[in-house]
């Protein structure tokens, strides 16, 4: 009965949030439902193939919204992007160092847990480098949940909710099946290419980059009906929420208050960086907040797509930061850990 319970609870929460016009309601509802089911002892396993294809489809969705000029935008405004990316990395590194010094988490676990990269990638890399992957995963995914929740509140506060009301959504519009087949092919082949080439977070990034290039070359028209996106949003939400199992919560119980406090601190620090972008660069508050948020790229992508923000700017900063963190995290973690021990 676990699957029916998960589906019914997800549908009910998503419908409630959708009725309230909450951004990313179709992801947040299933995410919260999955947390409830997993922490209650429910055993549900999402097939890996379904999860990566869902990420690929979300990548295609963003590719449809992001112009090819994204590279030029990064080059033309590199001081702005450099400030946003470097500031977030410095803030997360200082927080990780403080957690190590205070003994909140053992070893380099604190550093990996506070790294502002893709949650799944940071968890995998942390395990390879000897950190406690359970605590890293808990901190990473709890941050994803908190960032998504806070983003929804911020979107409401600044009036950046979805421009279309729920009644205006056409769930089953006419479909160009040839374009839909080509889009699904990209969403399926992208993760395969990423796996062969061992590209971290490639299930999302390869379809995103491939979709941008192919669309603007005129070789592909991305077709994604609302009902398909709703299914993919639910899969993304379930993939995060189901990780909050009872054993993980029990394992993290002793450090839970301090871990959550550190996570909230990082979100606040990133919010401060976003405020600087608003004041000195004239970026609207919601766009700045999402661009600097230390949450999962796929979750931020869904929230950005359902809000009145500059999706191109948000995804450019999120994507570039994720790539930078993947390359510098091992070196930076080793450097901070070594000096923390000496100190």
Number of H helices, E strands in the chain: 16, 0
Tell me the per-residue pLDDT of 301-319, one tens digit each, with 9 for 90 and over: 777 777 778 888 888 888 7
Tell me the per-residue pLDDT of 183-215, one tens digit each, with 9 for 90 and over: 999 999 988 888 888 776 677 778 888 888 888
Tell me the per-residue pLDDT of 124-171, one tens digit each, with 9 for 90 and over: 567 667 777 667 777 877 787 788 778 777 766 766 554 444 346 678
Residue linked to tokens 């401060």: 272
- Rounded to the nearest 10°, the torsion over CA 29, 32, 38, 44 is 20
Q: Say yes or no to pLDDT of 3 above 50.
A: yes
Show the tokens assigned to 239: 């993939």
Query: What per-residue confidence (pLDDT) applies to 279?
Result: 92
Tell me the per-residue pLDDT of 55-99, one tens digit each, with 9 for 90 and over: 888 888 878 877 666 777 788 888 888 999 999 999 988 888 888
% pLDDT > 70, the chain: 86
Query: What per-residue confidence (pLDDT) applies to 342?
Result: 55
> What is the spatial distance between Cα 83 and Cα 273, in angstroms, rounded to a whole number?
9
Query: What per-residue confidence (pLDDT) applies to 201?
Result: 66
Helix intervals (H) in 1-132: 2-19, 25-39, 48-65, 70-76, 78-102, 109-114, 119-128
> What is the spatial distance between Cα 245 and Cα 213, in angstroms, rounded to a whole number?
39
> What is the spatial distance between Cα 30 and Cα 106, in angstroms, rounded to a whole number?
32
- Please say whether the dihedral angle defined by the alpha carbons of residues 93, 95, 96 and 102, taken in this order, is positive or negative: positive
> What is the spatial distance between Cα 17 and Cα 13, in angstroms, rounded to a whole number?
6
Q: Looking at residues 221-247, what average pLDDT do you find?
A: 85
C-alpha closest to that of 294 among 80, 134, 122, 133: 122
């Amino acid at each position: 009965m676990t699957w029916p319970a998960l589906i019914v609870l997800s549908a009910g929460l998503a419908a409630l949030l959708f009725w309230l016009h909450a951004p990313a309601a179709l992801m947040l509802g299933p995410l919260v439902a999955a947390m409830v089911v997993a922490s209650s002892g429910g055993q549900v396993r999402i097939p890996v193939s379904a999860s990566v294809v869902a990420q690929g489809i979300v990548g295609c969705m963003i590719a449809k919204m992001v112009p090819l000029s994204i590279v030029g935008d990064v080059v033309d405004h590199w001081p702005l992007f450099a400030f946003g990316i470097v500031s977030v990395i410095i803030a997360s590194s200082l927080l990780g160092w403080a957690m190590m010094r205070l003994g909140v988490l053992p070893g380099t676990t604190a550093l990996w847990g506070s790294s502002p990269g893709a949650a799944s990638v940071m968890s995998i890399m942390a395990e390879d480098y000897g950190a406690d992957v359970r605590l890293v995963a808990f901190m990473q995914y709890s941050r994803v949940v908190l960032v998504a929740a806070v983003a929804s509140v911020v979107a409401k506060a600044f009036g950046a909710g979805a421009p279309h009301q729920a009644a205006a959504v056409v769930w089953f519009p006419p479909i160009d099946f040839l374009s839909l087949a080509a889009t699904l092919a990209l969403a399926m082949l992208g993760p395969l290419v990423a796996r062969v080439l061992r590209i971290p977070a490639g299930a999302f990034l390869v379809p995103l980059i491939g979709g941008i290039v192919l669309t603007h070359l005129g070789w592909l028209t991305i077709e994604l009906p609302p009902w398909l996106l709703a299914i993919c949003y639910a899969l993304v939400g379930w993939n995060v929420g189901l990780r909050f199992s009872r054993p993980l919560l029990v394992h993290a119980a002793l450090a839970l208050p301090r871990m959550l406090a550190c996570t909230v601190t990082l979100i606040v620090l990133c919010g401060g960086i976003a405020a600087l972008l608003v004041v000195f660069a004239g970026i609207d508050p919601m766009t700045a907040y999402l661009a600097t948020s230390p949450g999962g790229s796929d979750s931020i992508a869904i929230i950005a797509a359902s809000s009145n923000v500059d999706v191109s700017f948000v995804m450019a900063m999120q994507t570039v930061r994720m790539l930078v963190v993947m390359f510098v995290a091992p070196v930076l973690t080793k450097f901070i850990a070594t000096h923390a021990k000496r100190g």
